[in-house]
Structure 1
Amino acid sequence: MLAAERREHLLRLLDDEGKIIAKSVAADLGISEDSVRRDLRDLAAEGLCQRVYGGALPVSPATADYAARQAVAPDGKRKVAAAAVELVRPGSALILDGGTTALAVARALPRDLACTVITHSPTIAAALLDHPKAEIFQLGGRIFKHSAVACGAAAVEAAQQVSADLCLIGVTGVHPEAGLTTGDAEEAAMKRALAARAAETYVLASSEKIGTASRYRVLDWGQVAGLVTDADPRDPVVKRLKALGLDLLAAE
């Protein structure tokens, strides 16, 4: 089989089964695992898959820059935001992560809701300026322009000084085995710092992120209370996520 044919085979396998196991592909095609790994390296370099131990997973479409991500699945993000807002109680303190889905949550919060919103995102803070009863607490640090959020040591230290009832966090990849992932190591560390300061953490995940993975793990499944998603509950990946004991909130 030619290299181009192997590539097409791997991409079809990724699309049909949602994962590639290098050992199985090598056995099926009668080639070495090294050949499969080389092909996966090439595909990963083109952004067509996310390599993991033993093979590869679908790459998340949410790794594009902030401006581009605003055009990805806007309806799904609005549905997720509407469902997530129901978790926010009057008088509570909310840690709201950055990103386009979190921005949809900020815009969906009732204007008359009395609450405290703690965020490391200037775009989130700006979106809440016309909410007269919402106290806004801005965490500072180096701005990571890709996601329009503060990251780094100063931001993590600031996060360690706050506490909240609820944390709503965004990720780029949601996968039963790979866990909750994102594309930048410092951003992953910041998300962990935020989640650690809340009594409960829920993950915001529109359907295009389900079953995909990015390079850096954010949290293990045991560290979150649940997932808010508009993905079809009949989706095999969603069923596997539910089997982990997560509280899955359907966004419709």
Structure 2
Amino acid sequence: MGVSEDTIRRDLREMAQQGLLQRVHGGALPASPAVADFAGRERIASDGKVAIGRAAAKMIQPGQVVILDGGTTARQIPRHLPLDLKATIITHSPTIALELIHHLNVEVILIGGRLFRHSVVAVGAAAIETIAQIHADIYFMGVTGIHPKTGLTTGDYEEAAVKRALSHAAAETIVLASSEKLNAASPYVVVPFTEISGIVTERSIEKSVLRPYEKLGITVTRAS
């Protein structure tokens, strides 16, 4: 483009400060729009999130101990669970717990800690200490960025630590990946792809976008 490396670096720094991209070693990646506030994220790809929530809900079996992450995509899972489901659901999100009020056969365990208002979840040492006592069957994880090079990322350091602890507390981790999160990146890595079992995403996503994850041995579920 006929510009110097210094000019490119300066432009990348300025665009990163404006939230237009995420700088990584050797270049930059699209910044995830999923780092917007909770109300703003509820307006992003809402139909896709409903489909993902419906598909994820079908994966929950009676009698299981399930961890549900916070966030606008995970919020769709309890909305699609059968009202007669008998299971235990653990969450660090008050909004998820409230969605389960009418599921009278679901035991709800709410993890406490410092409220991280951006995602409306509990974070901090108290939350991680509680999570260490849990052995769940499956964890449905929300992230803000999924990219073959940078892995699974989110926008807050403490929230990344809590998500990591939740993943380690479950036999399986399934990532909820609405379209705006794919091929995007955020500053903090949660876990490598080797530590997850599956990804649930939208049916409309091109197969070529999902192929790198399938090559890693990850089961990709395309929600309809």
Deviation of 1:33 after TM superposition, in Å, equals 2.0
Structure 1: runs of 5 or more not aligned? 1-28
Give the structure with the higher percent helix. Answer: 1
| Pairing partner for 1:226 from 177, 184, 198 | 198
CA contact (8 A) 1:233 1:239 kept: no
Q: How does 1:127-142 map to 2 (within 5 A)?
A: 127-142=99-114
Divergent runs of 4+, >4 A: none
Normalised by the size of structure 2, how large is the TM-score? 0.97
**Distance (Å, rounded) in 2 between the aligned partners of 1:47 and 1:237:** 23
**Distance (Å, rounded) in 2 between the aligned partners of 1:100 and 1:83:** 15
CA contact (8 A) 1:80 1:206 kept: yes
**Distance (Å, rounded) in 2 between the aligned partners of 1:61 and 1:211:** 11
May I ask how many residue pairs the two structures share in their alignment?
A: 224
2:44 corresponds in structure 1 to 72
Normalised by the size of structure 1, how large is the TM-score? 0.86
Do structure 1's residue 150 and structure 2's residue 122 form an aligned pair?
yes
DSSP-derived class of the 2:75 partner = helix
Higher relative contact order (CA 8 A, sep 6+): 2
Larger Rg: 1
**Distance (Å, rounded) in 2 between the aligned partners of 1:39 and 1:246:** 36
**Distance (Å, rounded) in 1 between the aligned partners of 2:61 and 2:172:** 13
2:90 corresponds in structure 1 to 118
Deviation of 1:233 after TM superposition, in Å, equals 5.0
CA contact (8 A) 2:161 2:190 kept: yes
1:84-123 deviations in Å (ceiling 9; x for gaps): 1121111100000100111111211111100000000011
**Distance (Å, rounded) in 2 between the aligned partners of 1:244 and 1:176:** 9
2:29 corresponds in structure 1 to 57
| Pairing partner for 1:89 from 52, 61, 77 | 61
Do structure 1's residue 215 and structure 2's residue 187 form an aligned pair?
yes
Do structure 1's residue 98 and structure 2's residue 47 form an aligned pair?
no
**Distance (Å, rounded) in 1 between the aligned partners of 2:206 and 2:13:** 32
RMSD: 1.1
CA contact (8 A) 1:80 1:101 kept: yes
Give the percent of matched residue pairs that are identical in Structure 1 and Structure 2. Answer: 53
1:152-191 deviations in Å (ceiling 9; x for gaps): 1111111111111000000000111110000000000000
**Distance (Å, rounded) in 1 between the aligned partners of 2:215 and 2:6:** 34
Distance of aligned partners of 1:45 and 1:203 in 2 relative to their CA distance in 1, 3 Å threshold: same
